[in-house]
Amino acid sequence: MQIRLRRRNEFIFFISSVIAALILPFFFNWVEMVFKGNARPNPIAISIGVIEIRWYALIIVSAIIIGYLIAVNQAKKEGANEDDLISNLVLGIVLGLIGARLYYVLFNLSYYFANPAEIIRTWHGGLAIHGAVIGAILSVFLYTRLKKNCSYGFWQALDWFAMVVPLGQAMGRWGNFMNQEAFGTPTNLPWKMYIARSHRPLQYLQYKYFHPTFLYESIWDIITFIVVYSYVKKYRRHFGEGVSLYFILYSIGRFFVEGLRTDSLYWGKIRVAQLMSALLIGLGVLGLFFFRLRNVERE
């Protein structure tokens, strides 16, 4: 079984490497043109009549598949049943999407009270990653508590989640690139990104180039993925350490990147994402200290 799984992974890695080698040179050349304003990213990947499939959706689906393929190997090594994993994944996708939308709506209540039909129109924008993470964690909690004889525990599963979610976040930020959103304030730095006038905030209509904050966060998320993945594989002593480390690392990067963004959610004068990041850093430090130093049994 282990040999067959290893061969499958080697085959997937080989095919992925070949595809990447063929596509990436063209992709980076196109991205360079977009940054300079010589091209415009089209958020629509496929259009058939009235049916439109957006790049954002394709990227998110790809991230879920890749994340699952990575996490399932670690989960099986720890004795998890794949049927449990698939069922929990489906529940996590549903609650994650609901959480992402509800989180965004809650911090824009005045708008959605005036336009209630917009609540379900997610294609108009409005999904918050912190809400998605909360929804996904809730799905793991409910599944491990309600499923009889679940083959894994809550903190154990959260570590698998933490191993792969930063990679999914890094990929998802390129959906923001295709939508020309989640960018920062105007800048003249060499890596500045051109933003079409139709996507600029009203107060910045006269500016052409902005901080590519989606790229900043994507790079930080890749670093977070590498560190957390390696930690869980090689250095973790007890369940819960991986997700605690993820909270710390991701939130540090998000706190600083959020300070540059022009589309932040606010609670009064406080940026919600910065407040949430500060809270998660605190929880992560406490969690890492607690799980690392105490022999916490699987729940």
Per residue, the 3-state secondary structure of the chain, as one string, reads: CHHHHHHHHHHHHHHHHHHHHHHHHHHHHHHHHHHHCCCCCCCEEEEECCEEEEHHHHHHHHHHHHHHHHHHHHHHHCCCCHHHHHHHHHHHHHHHHHHHHHHHHHCCHHHHHHCHHHHHCHHHCCCCHHHHHHHHHHHHHHHHHHCCCCCCCHHHHHHHHHHHHHHHHHHHHHHHHHHCCCCECECCCCCCEECCHHHCCHHHCCCCEECCHHHHHHHHHHHHHHHHHHHHHHCCCCCCHHHHHHHHHHHHHHHHHHCCECCCCEECCEEHHHHHHHHHHHHHHHHHHHHHHCCCCCC
Is the CB of residue 95 less than 8 Å from the CB of residue 138?
A: yes
The residue among 31 and 284 whose pLDDT is bigger is: 284
Q: What residues pair up with 179 in beta bridges, in sequence order?
A: none
pLDDT tens by residue, 202-258: 999 999 999 999 999 999 999 999 999 999 999 999 999 999 999 999 999 999 999
Does 271 or 295 have the greater pLDDT score?
271
Give me the chain's average pLDDT, please.
90
Percentage of the chain modeled with pLDDT above 70: 90
Q: Which amino acid is at 239?
A: F
Q: What is the pLDDT confidence band of residue 40, given thresholds at 50, 70 and 90?
A: confident
Residue-level pLDDT at 7 = 64
Confidence of residue 12 (pLDDT cuts 50, 70, 90): low
List, for residues 79-94, the tens digit of each pLDDT value: 999 999 999 999 999 9
Q: pLDDT at position 298, please?
A: 45
